[in-house]
Amino acid sequence: MSEITNFKGETAPVQVEGDPDRMVAALIQRVGERVRRARERKGIPRRVLSEISGVSPRYLAQLEAGEGNISIGLLQRVAIALDHRIEWLMGEDDPWTSDASRVADLYRTASREVQQSVLQTLTPEPLEAARGHRICLIGLRGAGKSTLGAVAGKALGVPFVELNREIEAHSGMPVDEVLALYGQEGYRSLEAQAVNRVIATYDSVVLAVAGGIVVEPDTYNTLLGHFHTIWLRTSPDEHMSRVRAQGDERPMAGNPEAMEQLKSILTSRESLYARAEAQLDTSGKPVETSGAQLADLIRARGFLG
């Protein structure tokens, strides 16, 4: 018999079944196997996963071999880099054979018509009513979400909101400070709260969100259920050049493999971005052209009624 202490400082007995050492070893083995399979399914080399997650290649090799007693903090980084929840890597049910995972895989690869039918079946109220006249722009940084969202909002006569600015206004600090103080998990929590505030505040709005929001299943499902989503996409070269044109040299500074990492992120998130109702390719187009095309797309699809 053992004891655990909860967040109130109270202790309670816990029954431990079996050999604890064997249970820990089995967990480490299971996590390592799932990390390896997830990485291989996404086609991400271990070296690239190391760069994205900040976990050393040696540590990742030990982890995948079932020999690395990785900390929760580092495992969370690996989970984020693989676009998975940490529970998915640790749970006892095999994510590749469980019914929920099979349904999720089938959904991701289904046609947009089938996806819409599934959502309508599982949603308690009609999707159109839940989404109202809200539009959300998703996509990797540099696709033009903030710039084109403001242009389209003005052309359509609806408010434009950038989710990170909403987070900053509510938290009273820049996003960089939020991340430094609360970490990625804390930022994701504030992000989810900000999405719910936008839903409660606006019936008609154009919202631009950070590129990584799609890797948080609960928050992304909220977006898909309460907004008409549009994936703004462009080539990896333009993603990088636009970020640098904004004065941010960090993606390339001292990192010659930045473009390879960017392509890996795009590849790993493509199936998530593709869940959007519509897509707009902004490659090689001036802002005026893409802004007009975005407004026309919103009108043509009837997203504003």
Q: How confident is the model at residue 137 (pLDDT cuts 50, 70, 90)?
A: very high
pLDDT band at 13 (very low <50, low <70, confident <90, very high): very low
- The pLDDT score that the predictor gives to residue 251 is 45
pLDDT of residue 94: 63
What's 274's DSSP letter?
Answer: T
Confidence label for 126 from pLDDT (cuts 50, 70 and 90): low
**Contact present, 50 and 60 (Cβ < 8 Å):** yes
Compute the Cα dihedral for 213, 214, 218, 222 and give only its sign.
positive
pLDDT for position 1: 41
pLDDT at 14 over 60: no
State yes or no: pLDDT of 99 exceeds 50: yes
Task: Tell me which of 126-130, 133-137, 267-271, 278-282 is least confident.
Answer: 126-130
Taking only the tens place, the pLDDT of each residue in 155-209 is 999 999 999 999 999 989 999 898 888 888 889 899 999 999 999 999 999 999 9
Q: According to the model, what pLDDT value does residue 289 have? A: 95
Cβ burial 162-193 (10 Å sphere, 16+ → b, else e): bbbebbbeebeeebeebeeeeeeeebbebbbe
Range with the largest mean pLDDT of 62-66, 78-82, 125-129, 280-284 = 280-284
Average pLDDT, the chain: 81
Please report the beta strands in the chain, taking only residues with DSSP state E, as ranges in sequence order: 2-5, 11-14, 133-138, 160-162, 204-208, 228-233, 278-281
Give 197-237 pLDDT, tens digit per residue.
999 999 999 999 999 899 888 899 999 999 999 999 988 88
* pLDDT interval class at 263 (50, 70, 90): confident
Domains in the chain with CATH codes: 2-97 (1.10.260.40), 132-300 (3.40.50.300)
What pLDDT, on a 0 to 100 scale, did the predictor assign at position 258? 72
How many Cβ atoms sit within 10 Å of the Cβ of residue 240?
Answer: 18
Percentage of residues in the chain with pLDDT exceeding 70? 78
Three-class secondary structure of residue 231 per DSSP? strand
For the chain, percent of residues with pLDDT exceeding 90: 34
